[in-house]
A and B are shown apart, each in its own frame.
Chain A
């Protein structure tokens, strides 16, 4: 090291050492000042972890129960997921060149009638040989057994079952229109109550095998949904584009089926979470502004209290620039220290709920109504908000220290050494 570099290092060490000591000279004040920063940063990290977890939760809920990695629908079929027009059903494409698992379904509007009670429902006709390969049924809680081949049997979403007051072994009538629009109704025995990771299905689904659905709907090989399990680390969008270009999604009638990745399918819900993120940012911004005034106040008080000391440092030959740096360093350390504590608290919370999950109560699940969300939210840890909020809190603290630093570095040493 050159002599100049040595001197510079010695100066930085001196300033750092003094700053650390000064932070601990009024511990109570330091702690109180830190409070708002700790709270703001913890809130930021926790909030972010929760919203990222909501993203995951939502993506998981739909991908493991309704979409897979890529969801295909007939050309004219609505993509808003609000209605299930059976007249748009079509013969599905052969998926030439696709080597992963695929499962076709037919979704249809239905009414389930049990004695005097009736409820609107969504029929889910599934292909029993394919469905479990795309959707991990082993993760669902099934009370009873899935319907058998050649029988008039259905399974109900467990919440729908509770709504109708029915259980395994009870008889229900399912009313629906056929592909050609004719009213039909058939009687079925309930073999299972199904609890998936998707509250929407549990509230509304009537599960029946494709052969049973054929009898009710006269499908003649037509389908409304085709879900693909990509099963590679490759991005679903890339796979989709490749398959689409290769003609894998074109039906036997020559029409191209609409193909969306889960993420695209979830775009609306993810956008809601982006609004949540913005709300958190705004709240944290307000808290940090409050924190900034607290820090400014603390550093200003420190500067006024220490006039004589600053005068002494100047008399001993400390450069004005270094006096200024001393106060900025104290501010930055306060911000970084408090930010680190906040980030640690937030991270601890995020990691805890990442492994243990936040279990939403029965009531909350009812309130989520027909949203496809799982009853357990796992938070999702990300370095982004941790680093972001640390940098932010340090910047806020430095910003708040600029004025006091300027005051301190401009003192006249002759007057300052005699201040009381």
Chain B
């Protein structure tokens, strides 16, 4: 893993010797200690590993929510380090969907408005928005819940809204950090199955993290992290994606 591979234009996303450290008082905590990995379009990949191993950190970097301390993060062939804050925001708005552990719906907006918000922030034209939003909510099984506020929805339903919100702008990539951690196993499995269906139907790339064996079972590729390093990657290479 020490020699950084050349830029591969086939890859949706590529990490080259990425390091990330956080200041902790006077110390620097090394959250990622030089990670190189490639993600191909259409993957359904889990990052696994014990607490503190760096799963969230790596997803933040791929999702352009944060910048690496060193190394390169390439998204669709573009070096993220060359982009300013506003451009990163644009990139997230148009190309990346997020699903969070705590759902993170905007509490003052209805399910419909939450999904619509993602479209509006992506700068989608107003024409046809209504149908697109309704279709997204229908596809996650919430056609009858569009006017509910998050507080009036169950955890599983909230996470479905979040999936619809991530999917509605047809992003290249959806990042989900522990999407099932706040759900019971039945709801968790349903959410995973829904994600998997979306992955199969739309060829949207899903990257998620988990502790949960049930979730890992459903992943097509599992990348294991420990102590800020990749300790196993069950895909021999990017070619194995979608197998």
* Chain A residues proximal to chain B, CB less than 8 Å: 6-7, 10, 14, 18, 21-22, 24-25, 308-309, 311-320, 412-414, 417-418
Contacts and interface: CB of A to CB of B under 8 A. Distances in A.
Given A315-B92, A316-B117, A318-B121, A10 B107 contact: no
A317 B89 contact: yes
Nearest to A3: B125
A317 B109 contact: no
B66 interface: yes
Contacts of A309: 104, 106-107
Interface in B41-78: 56, 60, 63, 65-66
Interface in B85-106: 85-86, 89-94, 98, 100-102, 104, 106
Given A10-B120, A308-B102, A315 B90 contact: no
B100 A312 contact: yes
Contacts of A6: 126
Contacts of A318: 89, 93, 121
Given A316-B121, A317-B92, A320-B85, A417 B108 contact: no
Given A309-B104, A414-B60, A14 B65 contact: no
B109 A414 contact: no
Contacts of A311: 104
Contact of A317 (B56, B100, B108, B122): B122
A305 to B, nearest CB: 10
B158 to A, nearest CB: 13
Contacts of B5: none
B123 interface: yes
B118 interface: yes
A317 B107 contact: no
Given A312-B104, A315-B63, A417 B121 contact: no
In this complex, which of A18, A24, A314, A417 has the most chain B Cβ atoms within 10 angstroms of its Cβ? A417
B118 A316 contact: yes
Contacts of B60: 414
A417 B162 CA distance: 13
A24 B101 CA distance: 27
Contact of B126 (A10, A312, A316, A417): A10
Contacts of B118: 316
In the A-B complex, the 7 residue pairs with the smallest Cβ-Cβ separation, listed nearest first, are A317-B93, A21-B108, A414-B66, A414-B65, A414-B60, A312-B104, A317-B121
A289 B170 CA distance: 49
Given A14-B120, A24-B108, 8 more contacts: A309-B104, A309-B106, A316-B93, A317-B90, A317-B94, A417-B100, A418-B56, A418-B100
23 contacts: A22-B108, A24-B108, A25-B108, A309-B104, A309-B106, A311-B104, A316-B92, A316-B98, A316-B121, A317-B90, A317-B121, A317-B122, A318-B89, A318-B93, A318-B121, A320-B85, A320-B86, A413-B65, A413-B66, A414-B65, A417-B65, A418-B56, A418-B100
A321 to B, nearest CB: 8
A418 B85 CA distance: 20
Contacts of B86: 319-320
Contacts of B104: 308-309, 311-312, 315, 417
A167 B108 CA distance: 75
Contacts of B121: 14, 313, 316-318
A417 B98 contact: yes
A14 B65 CA distance: 22
Contacts of B107: 25, 309
Nearest to B86: A319
In this complex, which of B60, B89, B92, B165 has the most chain A Cβ atoms within 10 angstroms of its Cβ? B89
A412 B63 contact: no
Nearest to B95: A317
Contacts of B165: 316
B211 to A, nearest CB: 16
A193 B135 CA distance: 88
A412 B92 contact: no
Contacts of B94: 317
In this complex, which of A10, A313, A413 has the most chain B Cβ atoms within 10 angstroms of its Cβ? A413
A66 to B, nearest CB: 64
Contacts of A10: 120, 123, 126
Contacts of A7: 123
Contacts of B91: 317
A7 B93 CA distance: 14
Nearest to A13: B120
A417 B126 CA distance: 27
Contacts of A314: 89
A410 to B, nearest CB: 10
Contacts of B102: 308, 418
Nearest to A317: B93
A418 B100 CA distance: 8
A65 to B, nearest CB: 62
A308 B92 CA distance: 17
A182 B104 CA distance: 98
Nearest to A420: B102
A22 B92 CA distance: 24
A25 B151 CA distance: 12
Contacts of B100: 312, 417-418
